[in-house]
Structure formats: C-alpha cells, structure tokens
A and B are shown apart, each in its own frame.
Chain A
Amino acid sequence: MNASVQAQANGAAGKSVINAKGLSKTFGGGAVVALNDANFEIRPGSFVSLVGPSGCGKSTLLRLIAGLIDRTNGELAVHGRDVTGPRTDVGMMFQKATLLEWRTAVENVLLPTEMAGTVTKADRKNAADLLRMVGLKDFLFAFPSQLSGGMQQRVALARLLQTGADVLLLDEPFGALDEFTRERLNVELMRIVGEVKATTLFVTHNIAEAIFLADQVFVMTPRPGQIASIVDVPFERPRPLSIQTSPEFNTLVAQVRDILGEDH
C-alpha cells in the first residue's frame, strides 16, 4: 500500500518504475562480465520478460534490481530511488519454492510480514485470501512436503504478493515444473499481476513463454551478457493460450529467435 502511493508520486515525476543507465556487473575483479551496459526504462504496471540462453546475465539483472548483489558500474533506480540493497517495494520469487518445511502454507505466506513487524489478524486474513487467489483454498494449513511442486510455487507466489511490493521479480519461477502445470500457472500469473497492478520482470529461457506473458521482451545474449534488443508485444493482456497459434505471435517468436542467433 505504502509502495503504491510512492509509485503514484514517482509516476507523476518520471514515467517509469525502473531506470537503468550503463548498468554493468563483473565478477572476479572484471574477469567475468555478467552484464554489460544495460539501458532501459520500465513503465508502471508493465510485464517484462527477460529471455536468453544461460550466461546472458538475465538472473544477474534480476538480482541487481532486487538489491541482492551490487552493481559494478552505471545507474539503477526503482521508483526514482537508487538501489542500494533489498527493499520493501521490490519482491523476488525464485526457481525453487524455498518454503520453510516446518511452517504451514499460511505461515509461509506470512513470513515477509513477520520480517517487517508483528502479524495482525488482518495480515492473516490477507495471507489466506492470497492463497485462495492462487487456487489453494483447501491447503491453507498444509505443510510444503504435502504439496506438489506446482502448489509449492503457488504458495511462493502468494508469499511474494504478501510482501506488498509493486515491483515483482520472478526468476524462472515455473522452470522446474512440467509443461502443462507451467502453462496453467502462466495464465494465472498473468491474471494475478493484472489484478494487483504490479510491475513484473520475468526471467525465462523459453521464447514462446516470454512473448505470451509480456508487454516487452528483453532479448539477452551471452559473452558478455547484455540486452541485445527490446521487442514490444502488441497484444492486450490478459491473453488466451490460443494466441500462441496466431501468425502475429509466430512472427514475434521468429524475430526473437533471429536476434538470439543460431545457438538458440
């Protein structure tokens, strides 16, 4: 809530939620260039996919925005404020659900609230509502080991939403799931981020998935990791799965594949 007020204030001033200029990250004292000279602006409420092969710096970019690692060069601001570390208006979800096995689903969702302060009845109600929103109304008091992989990721998504952040970073969140579960979760993700009006960055190595979900696709290439091109996706969100068979969609896929080159 706090964050969305901030977003409006900044939305009036700038027009973008995330600003990057000449953003770079090197490891091992410059030996490995994980991300080279990234420049972009991301509009509030938009959905951006980062797609590319491994080593293209997509996870590095996400972790930079999350404040989990420090940049080597350049500028990076979220809501007009310089990124110096993890913050409350940015939330992150990982490839692994990383749920705490000793907590029920509701208690796992409440973890971000506990970190920030004490848990109230309203927080518990909110956590339960989020779990219902992600389709787990019958599993509020189930433990992670009693849930399937897809359900665990749903809990992780609810936990991400519980942070109240309006910038959501998702690092291949459904990458470890089977194709059918992943498609279903993608559709739901699109609906949910639309409902909460969050700005979303989504990392994937699947071109069709990247285009299906996003307003903009950052196409990234390795050695050195960089944003090779930004492709705009003209379709309205939310979209039906069937859009993937349309000629326009396939033209976009071909365009991205072309940028990525032969090795993809």
Chain B
Amino acid sequence: MSDFTSTTDTRFDSRLFRIVPHLILFALILVIWEAAVRLGFITSIIIPRPTAIMGAIAELYFVKGTIYHHFFITLTEAVVGFLIGASVAVSLAVCSALSDPFKRYVSPYAIVLNVTPGIALTPIIIAWFGYGMGSKIALAAVLCFFPIFVNTLTGLLQRDEDREELFRSVGASNAQIFRKLRVPAALPLLFAGMKIGLTTALIGAVVAEFSQATEGVGVLMSRFSFQLDMASSLATLLSMTLIGLILFYSMEFLDDRIVFWRRETRRAAASRAKARAWNARMGQ
C-alpha cells in the first residue's frame, strides 16, 4: 500500500518537475514582452502588453462573460457543419468503395471540388443561405468534405488480400468482409481525415463570420480588431484556440476508444522512440 502511494508520488513529482521549466520560460517571455512594450520597443497598438491581454481575458471571460454566447455559436456552427460534411463525405466514400462505376463517374467532380479553394465560395454561400448560422454551417460543411472523403476512400480501398482470403475460406459473404474487415481497416485513416475536417470546419465557420454575421467569435474578432482593441481581439483568438483544442481532443478520444487496437501500436511506437533515445545516449 505504502509502496503504491510512493510510486504515485514520484510520478507526480517528475511530472511537476517537467512542467516547471516550461512555466519559467513562459513567465520569462511574458516579463520580457511586458517590459519591451512598456519601455517602448514595441508599439502597444500593434502588440499589446501581456497584462493588457490578461485584463481583456478577465473582462471577456469572467467579468462580463460576453465571450460565451459567441463561443457556443461558433462551436455549434463548426460541429453541425462538420457533421453534415462528414456524413456526405463518408456516404460518398462508401458508395465509391462498393461500386467501381460510381467511383469512376463521381471522382472527377470530387477532384474539381478539391482543387477549388472552398473559401472562395464564402460570398456565394452567404448569398444563398443568408446572414445567420445557416451560411456558416454550409461553409464549414463544404470545407471539411474533401479531407474526410479522400481519407475514408483511401482507407476503404486498401485491400488486404491475405485476410480477405482467410475470410472467404471460412465462408464470409462480401457484405461480411466489408463490415468486419474493410471498415475496421479503414477506421484509422477515417479518423485522420475527421481530425483535419474538424480544423477546416472551424476555419469555415470563422471565415464566414468575418464576411457577414452578427454573432460568433469571428464577429467579435473583426469588431475588436477594427476598434484597434488588440488586447480584446487576442483574448478572442484564445477562444478559437480553445474551440480547436476541444474539437481535436474529443476526436482524439473517440479515435482512442473506437480504434482501440491501435493503442498498442501507438504505445509500442512511443516505447521504441524511447529505446532509440536511450541507445543513442549509451552509444555516446
């Protein structure tokens, strides 16, 4: 029992110990930055003082709490857009994987969509879907479509002949092979595509908000910027980072849960990297 506690303690200690240099560096950067602005090396209009940014963060997040309404608007737009874009992308990828003719006659349009910068559609999508959340969701869906489509399709098209033969030898039908072999094999790539898709969906939501909107962090961002309130606009930027982190790590969590068999590989890769570093040290 005591042994157990002692090991947890040392682990906690070592983790704490590892964070400390990072914190010191971060504090140092803030101090130098603050000093540079106060001493006039940097114009505070372009780059505000850290304390000013902290003040803006306190104001937006704690005192007035203005940010939350906009935060959830943008989060919703990105997530809903992502869900729509991802569903279309995955369905089309599955159809393409199941049917060669379908793939052959649909892929040219997917390629055209890929080489077109999706962001160029912003004004048109706003004209089509209006100034509200609809247009933001639509742009988010358009932007996240392609990375998910192409990754899913690539995943489904990689065939493992040996395993398929094994499945056939035990009398599996095509549908069973698809469900039990090809789909699980495609999942890692699917998730890789989903992670990229989430990032691009957020970009879509924010860019659409820049162009024409009344709510959302993108609106706050451009409003503060054009008031030359740099501190508040950097504080707003932080909320976008938070949305990005939330989206990314929730997908990472799902990935870890659903593609659980790769956890071992990941762990093995990590331990291999450690062994390499160790050997390199031993070698010198």
Contacts and interface: CB of A to CB of B under 8 A. Distances in A.
Direct contact of A and B (CB under 8 A): yes
Interface of A: 27, 68-70
B275 to A, nearest CB: 11
B23 interface: no
6 contacts: A27-B282, A68-B283, A69-B282, A69-B283, A70-B283, A70-B284
Contacts of B284: 70
A215 B283 CA distance: 30
Contacts of B282: 27, 69
A69 B283 CA distance: 4
Contacts of A27: 282
Nearest to A68: B283
Contacts of A68: 283
Interface of B: 282-284
Q: Chain A at the B interface: mostly helix, strand, loop or mixed?
A: loop
Nearest to B283: A69
B187 to A, nearest CB: 31
A70 B284 CA distance: 7
B148 to A, nearest CB: 32
Contacts of A70: 283-284
A105 B283 CA distance: 29
B84 to A, nearest CB: 43
A70 B283 CA distance: 7
A69 B284 CA distance: 7
Nearest to A69: B283
A83 to B, nearest CB: 14
A27 B284 CA distance: 13
B272 to A, nearest CB: 16
A27 B275 CA distance: 12
A138 to B, nearest CB: 33
B279 to A, nearest CB: 8
A228 to B, nearest CB: 25
Nearest to A34: B282
B32 to A, nearest CB: 40
The 6 lowest CB-CB distance pairs between A and B, nearest first, are A69-B283, A27-B282, A68-B283, A69-B282, A70-B283, A70-B284
A27 B283 CA distance: 10
A27 B282 CA distance: 7
Contacts of A69: 282-283
A107 B281 CA distance: 31
Nearest to B284: A70
A70 B282 CA distance: 8
B284 to A, nearest CB: 8
Contacts of B283: 68-70
A68 B284 CA distance: 8
A22 B282 CA distance: 20
A131 to B, nearest CB: 31
A26 B52 CA distance: 57
B264 to A, nearest CB: 22
B277 to A, nearest CB: 13
A86 B284 CA distance: 11
Nearest to A25: B282
B189 to A, nearest CB: 25
A103 B83 CA distance: 47
A68 B282 CA distance: 10
